[in-house]
Each structure stands twice: as C-alpha cells, then as structure tokens.
Chain A
Amino acid sequence: MSSAAHLEYVLRLADNALILGQRLSEWTGHAPVLEEELALANMALDLIGQSRLLLSHAGRLEGAGRDEDHLAFLRTDQQYRNLTLVELPNGDFGRTVVRNFLFSAFQEPLWEALRSSLDADLAAIAEKSLKEARYHARHSAEWVVRLGDGTDESHARSQSALDYLWPYTTEFFTEDSVDTEVAAAGLGVGCAALRLRWEAAVHPVLMEATLAVPAPTAFRSRGKIGTHSEHLGHILAEMQHLQRAHPGAHW
C-alpha cells in the first residue's frame, strides 16, 4: 500500500472533525437555549481536539515538517478532504441537530472499528474519540426525536433538514481507492460494513421521530476527494484569516 493513501485517509478524518467543529462553534452566543449553547460548544471542542490529534499525526506521517497549525491554516479548499456534509451551513437548530445525528452515528462505528487499526497512533485516537462520538450521537438522537415527534413546526423543519442533508450521506459510503487500500492494509475501514451499522443506528431513531427516510437520489458529493461546495471557501476564509494576513503569527 502507498503511504500516500494512508496520509490521505488520516487527513479525511482530521478535516471532518475540524470543519464540523468550526461550524458548530458558529453557534456560540446564538443557540436557542443555554443548555444547547453549552452542548454545541462542548461538541465543537471535542471535534477540534480530535482534529488536532489527527492533523498532528498526519503531519508526522507526511514527514515534511508540517504541523497541525500548518495543515489547518495553510491548505486551500481543494486540499481539504472533509465530507461535503460537514461544511454545509448550519441552517436552523433543527438542521444542525439532524446533521450532528447523521454524522455522529457514522463516527461511532467508524471509531469503534479503527480501534483495531494497525496504525497504533490512529487506534489510540479512535479509542479516545469513540467515547466522545457516543456522547454526541446520544445527545443529537434525543433532539431528533424531540423535534421530529414534536410540534407541527418542529416536525416540518426536521423533515426538511433531513431531506436537505440526506443526499450528502451517500458520500460516507462511496468507497474510492484510498478507502480500499487502507482497509486492505488493516489501517482503515471499508465503507460497506459501516453502512450497515449506520443504517441500523439511524433508521430506528428516525422512525421514533416520525420522520420519513428520504428516497435515494443520483446526487454524489465529493468533498473527500477535494471537490467541495461553495461553502468551504467561506469557512476557510474566516478560519485562516489571521494566518493569511499575518503569516507565522503565534502566541
């Protein structure tokens, strides 16, 4: 297996966590209730912590002297490898909750499987992140049920969030040569096994929430190969502003 695929795979994991962490932190000061303000900020913090560990690991794998900050602040949008789902705007609270649910339900089996990765550093990060992902999955699932099976308004908004986000979840399971290579080498996880676990976690919650599972579409997002929506550039512009304006600034 090429070490390029290994690096690419770790960057995908890192960028998913970083970009969703950055998105969730946009809620700080704007959440509907204080408890959810704390929850969203806490989840953002967990994700940014995970991305720091993963980006540092990616930097070591690459061996070109790039550290976590360099990778976070000095790559362009096309060099980012996150799933398109995580870069989409937050929308209303319902959409934020549904996305957190769809994503953390994917992270949970992923981290669980990566605990036995032959990459010992990645396995250690997975072991740590799994505990956090479980917490996020449980919290967001509670909200999906509460909003979906709530008032007419909350139900309608959750359903429209689900309809909007669902087509982007196909990318979770669109296996490419990177996924295949790392899975064959025992470093990563194949997409097919994850899909079953994800569906088994997601469908019962949606049913309990009285939300209809959207029909499959032909749409395929391709963030993980660097083809992003127009939204990523805007996040990076804000996130990277300081390093771009004052290269090398630190404190």
Chain B
Amino acid sequence: MLIEAQVWEVLLQVPDPELPAVSICDLGIVRDVRCASEAVTVVITPTYSGCPATEMIESAIREALERAGACDVTVEIRLSPTWTSDWITTAGHAKLRAHGIAPPQSTASMQAHPIRFFTPSPSCPRCAARAATRLSEFGSTACKALYRCEACREPFEYFKPI
C-alpha cells in the first residue's frame, strides 16, 4: 500500500512522452492524488484536446505505480479548470531550457498584446538573447512553436503560453 507522498514521488519520475526531459508533474498535468487503502487515484488534466500523448501518459502512470507496488490504480481525467502553461513548475522551466526549449511566458503577460500579428519574444534557451523571430506558429507538437534567435542564429522551440 502506498501513501500519497510516495505516489507523488513516483509520478515525479514519469516523463512526458513527447518531452522526456520533463516529468508530468513538472508540466502541471497531475492535479491530485488520492489514496484509500489499496486504491490509488491520480487526477490529470490534459494539455491540448487532441494531445496524442494523453493516453500514453495514462498508461505510463499506471505502469509506474504498479511497479512501485500499487495494485488498484485509477487515472481520472479532469477538464476543468483547463490546463494552462502557467502550471509548469519552476523546475519544469529550468529543465525545458536545459533541453533547448524556451519555457512559456506567463499568460497574464499575453493579455496586454493585440490579438493578431502578435509575436511574443521568448529568450533564446542557448544564449539568453531576447531577439527571436518566429519561424512557425506551430511546431513538432501541439504545445510548441518554432523560433530562431537572431543573436546566435540557432533555431529553437518555444513552449506556447496558453
């Protein structure tokens, strides 16, 4: 039988299938953990409606907890409140940056901008210069856009603030 703190400990090690550098806890996907005798319930909030990783995350959670000794694992999907990139932890930001992905700016800072032709200026995860040009609003996964740093000329991915 696992207690809640142990479950969180296990979940901290479960990588996001599309961003293996960060765990599902770093991304703020895990919202709640409940333990009642043998039963463990993990509540997750998916990032994007169509995120193909959601089902993989569910099975990764189940497998990790079963390896840790849980025998009755339920993964519950909670849609509201909806996931926001503001839930990514400070540790998550550091890991993304170390992995060459610029972490998202806070969504509050986005509200002040006009709606179209709006290009937030993320700082380059390699040289930290804030002089990036957007190459593509959509990237290799639903959650990222593609930028190029005009200082070091390297392209990089930017985690979209939503």
- Chain A residues with CB under 8 Å of chain B are 21, 34-35, 38-39, 41-50, 52-53, 120-121, 123-125, 127-129, 131-132, 135, 138-139, 141-142, 145, 205
Contacts and interface: CB of A to CB of B under 8 A. Distances in A.
A131 B116 contact: no
B80 A132 contact: no
A84 B44 CA distance: 36
A16 to B, nearest CB: 14
A42 B142 contact: yes
Contact of A42 (B118, B138, B162): B138
A141 B79 contact: no
Contacts of A34: 136
Given A35-B135, A35-B137, A42-B138, A48 B82 contact: no
Classify the interface of chain A: helix, strand, loop or mixed. Answer: helix
Nearest to A146: B117
A123 B52 contact: no
A129 B140 CA distance: 20
Contacts of B48: 45-46, 49, 132
B107 to A, nearest CB: 9
Given A125-B79, A127-B80, A141 B116 contact: yes
B142 A45 contact: yes
Contact of A46 (B49, B83, B146): B49
Contacts of B120: none
Contacts of A47: 50
A124 B80 contact: yes
A120 B81 CA distance: 11
22 contacts: A34-B136, A35-B135, A35-B146, A38-B139, A38-B140, A39-B136, A39-B137, A41-B138, A42-B142, A45-B51, A45-B52, A46-B142, A49-B50, A49-B51, A52-B49, A53-B79, A125-B79, A129-B49, A131-B82, A135-B162, A138-B118, A141-B116
